[in-house]
Amino acid sequence: MAERRVNVGWAEGLHARPASIFVRAATASGVAVTIAKADGAPVNAASMLAVLGLGAKGGEEIVLASEAADADAALDRLARLVAEGLDELPETV
């Protein structure tokens, strides 16, 4: 299993707009990804309700994980999106 630990870069945390950006990117990654708070149970990263339900705040550590064989690049891209609080994920990332 591939895993990335990253601190949430959006000041408002993973709420509304940032969660929507993240969920779209996770869905577009083409691999099954989970997201969890450092001490919590993982949820489907492609589910808006599940991501909102985490209540992840700005600066809080989250864990992105996947069991897919080709997940490393997708997790790297998602980790950068979250850590930098990007408004969208550049194609070259």
Q: Dump pLDDT digits (tens) for 47-56.
A: 999 999 999 9
Regions of the chain with pLDDT less than 70: 89-93
- The backbone torsions φ and ψ at residue 56, rounded to the nearest 5 degrees and listed phi first, read -70, 130
Contacts of residues 35-41 at CB distance under 8 Å and 24 or more positions apart, as own/partner, are 35/62, 35/63, 35/64, 35/65, 36/62, 36/63, 36/65, 37/61, 37/62, 37/63, 38/5, 38/62, 38/63
| CATH code of the domain occupying 2-84 | 3.30.1340.10
d(CA 34, CA 13): 17
pLDDT tens per residue across span 74-89: 999 999 999 999 887 6
- pTM given for the model: 0.91
Q: Which residues are catalytic?
A: 15
